[in-house]
């Protein structure tokens, strides 16, 4: 297998079932949220539906980056809790967890009642998706339908499949996280065929990133690192 092929398979997997086609983003999200019970979250004064953002990142970085991004989105929307779904084909080690805020605890409990593997950390409810891609995509869709006022982040720490491509087409934004020294063609490959995609340089692993990854607080360095993807959906 060539080096280019190995790099490609970090982000893009074979299409799989050709019957799984991307759905219309706006229509599908509205229909899903109307069809499901909502998770009870306190609404802010901000109007409009909460953002749904996907993150494509290396498996080792995806969980922490997704939690940091979810915290930034909840802060921007001025809501007490956000939701993060994390998928990887292999079980990755969980990062540090912070004591949950009451709203995040309630959201996580409501998601567990719906059969999801949800825990709370800081201001976020974090859902571990099934290692099976198709099952994980179905779970993420149900979580998004029940999110209510909470912004959602879907972190994909593995190859894109047809099932995930359908979900990516429904997101308001897809963030492709790449190392600063990575070849530009890698980002183009990862975002191929996506309507709204943003390339994001992986932030350094400083104390600000560690605190954000626990769902606690965004230091100025973390806010600067997350400014571009947050502004894109604000």
User: In the chain, where are the structural domains located?
Assistant: 11-38+58-232
What does the pLDDT look like over 115-139, one tens digit per residue? 999 999 989 999 999 988 899 999 9
How far apart CA 202 and CA 57 sit, in angstroms, is: 9
What Cα–Cα distance (Å) separates residue 69 from each residue in 63, 123, 141, 223? 10, 12, 19, 9
Mean pLDDT of the chain: 77
Q: How many C-beta atoms lie closer than 10 Å to residue 151's C-beta?
A: 29
What Cα–Cα distance (Å) separates residue 99 from each residue in 57, 123, 125, 184? 26, 9, 12, 39
Burial 62-88 (b: 16+ CB within 10 A, else e): bbbbbbbbbbbbbbbbebbbbbbbbbb
What Cα–Cα distance (Å) separates residue 84 from each residue in 27, 51, 73? 22, 12, 11
- Smallest CA-to-CA distance from 189 within 200, 202, 179, 176 is with 176
- State the pTM of this model: 0.77
What does the pLDDT look like over 49-105, one tens digit per residue? 899 999 998 888 888 889 989 999 999 999 999 999 999 877 655 556 778 899 999
At residue 60, the pLDDT reads 83
At residue 118, the pLDDT reads 96
Contacts of 212 (CB under 8 A, 6+ apart): 67, 68, 71, 72, 218, 219, 222, 226
Q: Given a cut of 70, is residue 208 above it in pLDDT?
A: no
């Amino acid at each position: 297998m060539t080096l280019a092929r190995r790099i490609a398979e970090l982000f893009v997997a074979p299409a799989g079932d050709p019957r799984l086609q991307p759905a219309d983003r706006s229509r599908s999200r509205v229909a899903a949220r109307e069809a499901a019970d909502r998770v009870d979250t306190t609404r802010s004064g901000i109007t409009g539906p909460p953002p749904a953002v996907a993150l494509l990142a290396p498996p080792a970085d995806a969980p922490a980056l997704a939690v940091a991004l979810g915290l930034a989105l909840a802060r921007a929307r001025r809501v007490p809790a956000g939701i993060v779904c994390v998928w990887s084909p292999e079980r990755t080690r969980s990062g540090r967890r912070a004591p949950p805020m009451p709203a995040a605890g309630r959201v996580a409990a409501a998601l567990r009642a719906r059969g999801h593997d949800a825990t709370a950390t800081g201001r976020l409810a974090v859902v571990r998706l099934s290692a099976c891609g198709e099952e994980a995509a179905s779970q993420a869709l149900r979580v998004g339908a029940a999110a209510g006022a909470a912004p959602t982040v879907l972190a994909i720490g593995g190859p894109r499949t047809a099932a995930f491509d359908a979900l990516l087409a429904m997101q308001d934004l897809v963030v492709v996280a790449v190392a600063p020294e990575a070849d530009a063609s890698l980002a183009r490959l990862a975002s191929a065929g996506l309507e709204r995609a943003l390339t994001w340089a992986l932030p350094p692993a400083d104390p600000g990133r560690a605190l954000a990854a626990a769902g606690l607080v965004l230091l100025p360095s973390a806010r600067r690192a997350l400014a571009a993807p947050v502004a894109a959906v604000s």
